[in-house]
Amino acid sequence: MHRFLFGLVITAILPPIEDVYALDGVGEVKVFDQNSVAIENAVVSLKPLFDVAQVSSKRLSFAMKQQDALFEPFVLPIATGATVSFPNLDEFRHHVYSFSKAKRFQLRLYGQDETKQIVFEKPGIVALGCNIHDNMLAYIYVTDLPFFGKTDTSGRVEFENLPMGRYEIYVWHPDLKSASDHAKGILDVGSENAGAMPNLVTLEMRKVRKRQLPPAEDNYS
């Protein structure tokens, strides 16, 4: 059983703007395992612990590509109500599906340069597959929270344009052994102590990791 220790390193910037909801706070989160190895594809979501009058520029359009018989990206965080396009960039057809409780659907066989769309109305985790290529695997993480991002190869995600205040931090990854609705830390944007001490979060991970591998040479069709 693997245990991963996640270090959340948070910084904040306070520009001179009078309206509290226009204040341009920045938060940086870094996620590592117990060996100080950066964790990629961890979804970090922020829940404000104060009233937010309005969240502007909420992105409601995303894309999950199919290319080289792989989904790209492997993990896609989106807002509830968002539309996801599924463009096929391969020379062969794909049949995308999900049997997840949050969204069950099928995009039946479609070919190169065709695109289909799905609206995700409910929060939850949606696992994707392809009926033609068993190696293909990806996840769409649908959240009601107004601020979210995904760690890069260095284990880092940065939040911009955050209203000043305190936020609960939630972290999800496909390899978590059990789902949890408990906050993993506090992000304090705009306080004197912001970034002074890292928040450490311990997550229990599955022994066998979920991976999306390239198909066998004779399965590119």
Domain residue spans of the chain: 2-50+148-205, 61-143
| pLDDT score recorded for residue 208 | 74
The sign of the dihedral angle between the CA atoms of 197, 201, 202, 207 is negative
Residue 125: Cβ within 10 Å count = 19
Best CATH choice for the domain 2-50+148-205 from the list 3.10.450, 1.10.3470, 2.60.40, 3.20.20:
2.60.40
Per-residue pLDDT for the chain (221 aa), expressed as one digit of tens each? 444 444 444 333 323 323 333 346 778 888 777 667 778 899 999 999 998 766 555 788 999 999 999 999 999 999 999 999 999 999 999 999 999 999 999 999 999 999 999 999 999 999 999 999 999 999 999 999 999 999 999 888 888 888 888 999 998 999 887 777 677 888 888 766 555 444 555 666 777 778 888 887 765 66
Tell me how long the chain is: 221
Decide if 2-50+148-205 and 61-143 have a common fold.
Answer: yes
Cα first-last separation, the chain: 37
Task: Quote the CA–CA distance of 170 and 197 in Å, as a whole number.
Answer: 18
CATH class of 61-143: mainly beta
| pLDDT score recorded for residue 218 | 62
Cis peptide, bond prior to residue 174, ω within 30 of zero = no
Q: With a threshold of 0.75, does the pTM exceed it?
A: yes
